[in-house]
Amino acid sequence: MNTLFVGQHILRLDKIDSTNEHAFALLREVGLPEGSVITAENQSSGKGQRGNTWNSEPGKNLTASFVFKPQFLDAEDYFYLTKITTIAIFNVIKDKVELPVKIKWPNDIYIDNRKVGGILIENQLKGSRIGTTVIGIGLNVNQIDFGQLSNKATSLKIESDKHYSIDYLLTEVCEHLEANYLRVKANKHDLDRLFEKQLFGLNQWKTFEVDGVPIELMIKGVSPHGRLEVIDRDETPQKYDFRQIKFMI
């Protein structure tokens, strides 16, 4: 693995409820060096945003958590960790499929109009800065049956008709994560333009739900603190955090 620290310490598990929860337990009990990775063949209770569960067929997908200690970031700058991670996944898969790969705000990766991956970032603060971060990544790799979610979910195998080594993809993710992390550590704005360029729905009219009401909005960008910047049909600018607005896809 061509990294300085990310992925140099990997804990591989057969089955676990949640790799994120296991990472935090280890951090409390014995400590973990920065760049540590916990990965599992079967994650039975993987977590997503809004309290959702990440369901993954055992042995078919990449489910892993990555430990970072980004004390160079203020707590209010937490969204840069999302940029680091989503761009890493984007770079890993963009040349493996023919359809466009996009980052759907705030934390998903889409191939065309279907979800192929998602992230969950959980932070522990140290004063006004981020002390420890656990970044959970779920990437659909070789799974081909998503049941009732088949119209909303996809995988690398479905999109490319190829079987992938999970370990090889993990190595790629580690390398891209570390490169992005070091770029943001040197200049936190370094990934801003790339992130915005790959936003799902950028400068397109899309239907959202705001306070339970459907509304057409156009995405114009994401604020430094992670709020979705949109305009309505009257060209009135607005900003929302992920608890206030929901894509209708």
Residue 164 lies in a domain: yes
Residue 129 lies in a domain: yes
pLDDT of residue 46: 55
Q: How many independent structural domains does the chain possess?
A: 2
Residue 3 lies in a domain: no
What is the value of pTM for the model shown? 0.93
> Is the per-residue pLDDT at 50 higher than 90?
no
User: 220-241 pLDDT, tens per residue?
Assistant: 999 989 999 999 999 999 999 9
Q: If DSSP codes are grouped into helix, strand and coil, which group holds residue 141?
A: coil
Residue 223 lies in a domain: yes
> Is the per-residue pLDDT at 54 higher than 60?
no
d(CA 92, CA 126): 32
Instruction: Select from 115, 4, 138 the least CA-distant residue to 58.
Output: 138
> Is the per-residue pLDDT at 1 higher than 90?
no
Q: Which domain holds residue 94?
A: 10-197
| Percentage with pLDDT > 70 across the chain | 96
pLDDT of residue 101: 98
Count other C-beta atoms under 10 Å from residue 234's C-beta: 5
121 in the same domain as 74: yes
For the chain, how many helices (H) and strands (E)? 5, 14
> Is the per-residue pLDDT at 82 higher than 60?
yes
141 in the same domain as 34: yes
216 in the same domain as 193: no
Tell whether the torsion through CA atoms of 162, 142, 175 and 10 is positive or negative. Answer: negative
Instruction: Select from 65, 73, 75 the least CA-distant residue to 191.
Output: 73
pLDDT of residue 52: 53
pLDDT of residue 51: 53
Please report, as a single letter, which amino acid is at residue 103: I
Say if CB 85 and CB 174 are below 8 A apart. no
225 in the same domain as 140: no
d(CA 201, CA 157): 24
pLDDT range class, residue 45, cuts 50, 70, 90: low
User: 164-217 pLDDT, tens per residue?
Assistant: 999 999 999 999 999 999 999 999 999 999 999 999 999 999 999 998 899 999
Arithmetic mean of pLDDT over the chain? 94
Helix (H) or strand (E) holding 231: strand 228-231
| Percentage with pLDDT > 90 across the chain | 88
Strands 37-43 and 10-16: parallel
Both tokens of residue 236?
């009135």
Both tokens of residue 91?
């770079």
d(CA 115, CA 132): 28
Count other C-beta atoms under 10 Å from residue 61's C-beta: 28
106 in the same domain as 90: yes
d(CA 41, CA 49): 21
Please report, as a single letter, which amino acid is at residue 65: S
